[in-house]
Structure 1
Amino acid sequence: MAQVPTAVGVIGGGRMGAGIAQVFAALGSQVTIVESGEEAGGAARERVATGLERAAERGSLDGAPGEVLERVAVVTDSAGLPASAELVVEAVPEQVELKLRVLSSAEQAVGEDAVLASNTSSLSITELGSALRDPSRLLGMHFFNPVPVSELVELVIAPDTTSSVTDRAREWVRALGKTDVTVHDSPGFATSRLGVALGLEAIRMLEEGVAEAADIDTAMERGYRHPMGPLRSTDLVGLDVRLAVAEYLADKLGERFTPPRLLRDKVARGELGRKAGQGFYDWS
């Protein structure tokens, strides 16, 4: 039976961070979420509570939601992370400088044996490791949204990442009942690189009037058995997130990842997808 981490830290309590906190708490880990203030921390805890209620409704939660929630604490500074944490996952926005700061703070707060992980979907793990005294303890653990029901975690291995760190992360992923894939550190890894490429081409097709959004998505869902079409998936991820990743990949890999004008225009109008009520679909 896979070993469960006794204590887990999650830095950032947004949709992704709350989901990561939820699945580890449901597994039996004591989880500490780090958020920027009391209001944000309260919102993070509420996201976890809501997620646990939904899991209970689906019949996929062992124990009462309230009992599981008792295993979740919220603090406002990385110094509040337990020294005994075996794993700390940062799930803050895709900004290199921000991630460098939080990873450095986490390293100072926890023991030398703790694994540090980034939930980044595209940024270089090697670059993020430059903030650490010991970059060998860092890897990417790319969870997918929504975390509680997604089946995959992409493990991203930098040249400095030790095999023991990778093995521990793989064991934890399997304890969560998820599938792991291992990729070497490169721009966009495997999933974002392929997902963004498909999403950008679908946006170009919509921009050119090739087909309506629903027909483009249905073509991939029914024709290629994708569980979700590329435009609906972009709405779920967030158009702003997809734009940022595309710009990063265009800088690193070339013009084939240049974002379409339609994507830029929708982000400028605040049409960011499901979280904003409007993207390529009306979510209101």
Structure 2
Amino acid sequence: MIEQVGVIGAGQMGQGIAQVLACAGIQVVLVDISAEQLELALSRTASSVAKLKERNKLPVECNPLPFIESSVSLDALAHCDLVVEAATEDEMTKRKIFQALNGICKSSAILASNTSSISIGRLSALVDQPERMLGVHFMNPVPLMALIEVITTKHTSEATRVAVVELAEKLGKTAVVVKDRPAFVLNRILLPTINEAIRVVEEGTATPEQVDQIMTLGAGFPMGPLALADMIGLDTCLSILDLMFVEMKDARYLPAPLLREYVVDGRLGKKTGEGFYNYD
């Protein structure tokens, strides 16, 4: 049974994952190299929970903060039943984390990555017991999105898969189990759509507003692809597309030059205040 969960990374995804776990009454150890980022994550959790209560999406008595312990040391994860890595989308960073976890976590602990594109198989090769390793790709924003994309490798045990699916149910999420392939399923379909929307803007066929209006009103998208790209982070979109292009050698995944230009200029979307839209 999963009673205590470690979450590595107190950014947008890690904070959201810690929040939904704690709201379900699960003890959480949130780890980040920055004490300031941990403080910010706890503040964001309190603010997010207050807004969800206002919208009647959480019971008034819900208070996740007592369930969240924070630390700047991975050693604090030694007794966790499950550890979810939600660090930056960089394979070398993740490799270093799992190499460290292999010597810190108890042998029965399930190890998981929230990566949206990096091979779980490659990461699991760093773990002495790869059968306890899998991917748990939460959707952004975590408190609102119902899906968890669960990625299994050829080594992932049935017990590991079942434990994570049962946890998803406890969180009120739906777990969809897929195989370990480049960018898995969601991003393999979504990112080429975003990339093509960027190309439409790049060639001057339509503005970002027009593209998003057409896709919401004409295709039934709940959010336009460019607004969604800004929310995901244009740097993350670029990273995923670059990886997909390298892995699959398919021109569909070659990032639009305008996307790379925006990332180089520091226009990363909501997190920097400017992407395809201005968020001042």
The residue aligned with 2:49 is: 52
Matches of 1:212 and 1:238, distance apart in 2: 19
The residue aligned with 2:77 is: 81
**Which residue of the other structure, out of 7, 26, 32, is the alignment partner of 1:29?**
26
Gaps of 5+ in 2: none
Matches of 1:100 and 1:58, distance apart in 2: 40
Offset at residue 63 of structure 1 (A) = 5.1
Q: Quick check: 1:79–1:105 contact (8 Å CA) kept in 2?
A: no
Residue 230 in structure 1 maps to residue 225 in structure 2: yes
Q: Quick check: 1:94–1:120 contact (8 Å CA) kept in 2?
A: yes
Offset at residue 86 of structure 1 (A) = 1.8
Residue 280 in structure 1 maps to residue 273 in structure 2: no
Matches within 5 A, 1:150-229: 150-229=145-224
Matches of 2:232 and 2:35, distance apart in 1: 26
Q: Which moved more, 1:28-37 or 1:49-58?
A: 49-58
The residue aligned with 1:131 is: 126
Offset at residue 212 of structure 1 (A) = 1.5
Offset at residue 216 of structure 1 (A) = 1.2
The residue aligned with 1:256 is: 252
Matches of 1:223 and 1:181, distance apart in 2: 28
Q: Quick check: 1:56–1:64 contact (8 Å CA) kept in 2?
A: no
Matches of 2:9 and 2:179, distance apart in 1: 25
The residue aligned with 1:270 is: 266
Offset at residue 82 of structure 1 (A) = 4.6
The residue aligned with 1:117 is: 112
Quickly say closer, same or farther: Cα 1:50–1:248, change in 2 above 3 A: same
The residue aligned with 1:71 is: 67
**TM-score (structure 1 length as normaliser):** 0.94
SS at match of 1:74: strand
Q: Quick check: 2:148–2:168 contact (8 Å CA) kept in 1?
A: yes
Matches of 1:21 and 1:55, distance apart in 2: 15
RMSD of equivalent CA atoms: 1.4
Q: Which moved more, 1:125-134 or 1:49-58?
A: 49-58
Offset at residue 60 of structure 1 (A) = 2.3
Report the residue type matching 1:276 in the other structure: T
Matches of 2:52 and 2:264, distance apart in 1: 35
Identity of aligned residues (%): 37
Q: After the TM superposition, which parts of structure 1 deviate over 4 Å for at least 4 consecutive aligned residues? A: none
SS at match of 2:18: helix
Offset at residue 104 of structure 1 (A) = 2.6
Matches of 2:103 and 2:57, distance apart in 1: 36
SS at match of 2:135: strand
**Which residue of the other structure, out of 127, 134, 139, is the alignment partner of 1:144?**
139
Gaps of 5+ in 1: none
**TM-score (structure 2 length as normaliser):** 0.95
Q: Deviations over 1:183-224 (max 9, x none)?
A: 100101000111111000110111111112122112221222
The residue aligned with 2:87 is: 92
Q: Which moved more, 1:29-38 or 1:41-50?
A: 41-50
Matches of 1:86 and 1:49, distance apart in 2: 25
Q: Quick check: 2:32–2:38 contact (8 Å CA) kept in 1?
A: yes
Quickly say closer, same or farther: Cα 1:106–1:45, change in 2 above 3 A: farther
Residue 39 in structure 1 maps to residue 36 in structure 2: yes
The residue aligned with 2:58 is: 61
Q: Which moved more, 1:102-111 or 1:266-275?
A: 102-111
SS at match of 1:31: strand
How many residues were matched structurally? 279
Q: Deviations over 1:131-174 (max 9, x none)?
A: 11111111110001110001111011111111111111111111
